[in-house]
Amino acid sequence: MGRCSQRGVDDATRGSGDRDRCLDRRDADEAELASKRSQGGCDGGAELDQAASSITTLGGELTAAGLSPGTTGNLSVRLTDGILCTPTGVALGALDPARLSRLDRDGHHRSGPRPTKESVLHAAIYAADPSIGAVIHLHAPYVAAVSCLAGLDPYDAIPAMTPYLTMRAGPVAVVPYAAPGSARSAAKLGALVARGHRAILMANHGCMAIGGSLSQAASIAYELEQAAMLHLVMWGLPVRRLSASEVSELRRAVS
């Protein structure tokens, strides 16, 4: 393996234990909040504070991991009365929990700074499936590179080479290229989410990672970047991919 390829492997795997522990802790916090909300015991202020804290913390983690260069990428969480998302023009590593954008359930701006132009994509995803609790959009390096490849399978773009892409993300779909934040992309994303896709490449752009919680969406985002890295590093080599029966077995195990 070449030096650049080895660096990619090292970068993608370094600190994964710490990252998993952070995700586990956030999962526990989000589960507690969701339980209180379902029982009617969570006030809007607590919900908003928890969502803002989770978004800003994860934004820093994604930036530190090299998955959000510059001011690219955006995050959102579904609230009881709408959506909380990151503002336009702010690096994910420099987010202020008091300076996030609040949207109504249809994605219209209600308060806070101007939201990311791609908030329309987030709103379309939430509208497609009420079980979705968080959305992450990234221009992570390997994901962005794979999104530029021609001839990707629109419903299974990255072949399964390890169990974890299948177990955490499922089949990776592709939305055809459109200008960032376009209504056309929003409609296609909504249709794919309604089909059950939770990891979606946006052609010549990046990806959407979608989960029931922000921790789940983050786990999908990290796994998708890892799978994209493997896909490129192993390009042209005689790869043993998981068989259809092995993939089916994994899907049954996590269903």
Q: Which residues are catalytic?
A: 118, 164
What does the angle CA 143 – CA 149 – CA 152 come to, to the nearest 5 degrees?
Answer: 95
Looking up tokens 């791609």 gives: 118
Q: How many CB atoms lie within 10 A of CB 255?
A: 6
Cα 149 from Cα 169, distance rounded (Å): 20
What 8-state DSSP symbol labels residue 115? Answer: B
What phi and psi, each to the nearest 5 degrees, are found at residue 208?
-120, 130
Helices (H), 82-162: 119-128, 141-147
Instruction: Name the amino acid, one letter, at 157.
Output: A
Q: Specify whether the CB–CB gap between 71 and 62 falls below 8 A.
A: no
Q: How far is Cα of residue 86 from the mean position of the Cα atoms in its chain?
A: 14
